[in-house]
Amino acid sequence: MDLELQKIVANFEAKHNSEFSVKPDGLLYFKNRMCVPNDEILRTEMLDEAHQSSFSIHLGSVKMYKNLKPLYWWPRMKTAITDYVLRCLTCQKVKVEHQAPTG
């Protein structure tokens, strides 16, 4: 488990914070959303699957966040999703231009 989640667990055990809970499966949850450890490979694989699956082909960051938010939680999750989508070359190639043509 990463340091941020370890601090949360320690704080949870000391104060019994109701937003966090440890389920019988041994995983930490935040408001019934599974906490994802600070593992760049794991998070990237999760974002790859959510962004490139056949059910949600290259969603924008807002839609992708809304799809993942009910299931998962990690600190600065929305920022991580936005950064991921901004780095997607396919999304950048098909991005619609919202400016009127000059002339």
Distance from C-alpha of 10 to C-alpha of 28, rounded to nearest angstrom: 12
Distance from C-alpha of 35 to C-alpha of 96, rounded to nearest angstrom: 34
Confidence of residue 98 (pLDDT cuts 50, 70, 90): low
Confidence of residue 13 (pLDDT cuts 50, 70, 90): low
Distance from C-alpha of 85 to C-alpha of 61, rounded to nearest angstrom: 6
pTM of the model: 0.77
Q: How many CB atoms lie within 10 A of CB 81?
A: 25
Q: What does the pLDDT average to over 69-75?
A: 94
Mean pLDDT over all residues of the chain? 82
Q: Which two tokens stand for residue 45?
A: 């694989």
Q: What does the pLDDT average to over 41-64?
A: 84
Per the document, the length of the chain is: 103
- Give the CA distances from residue 87 to residues 13, 19, 53, 93, 94, in Å, rounded to whole numbers and listed in that order: 38, 32, 17, 11, 13
Does residue 28 surpass a pLDDT of 90?
no
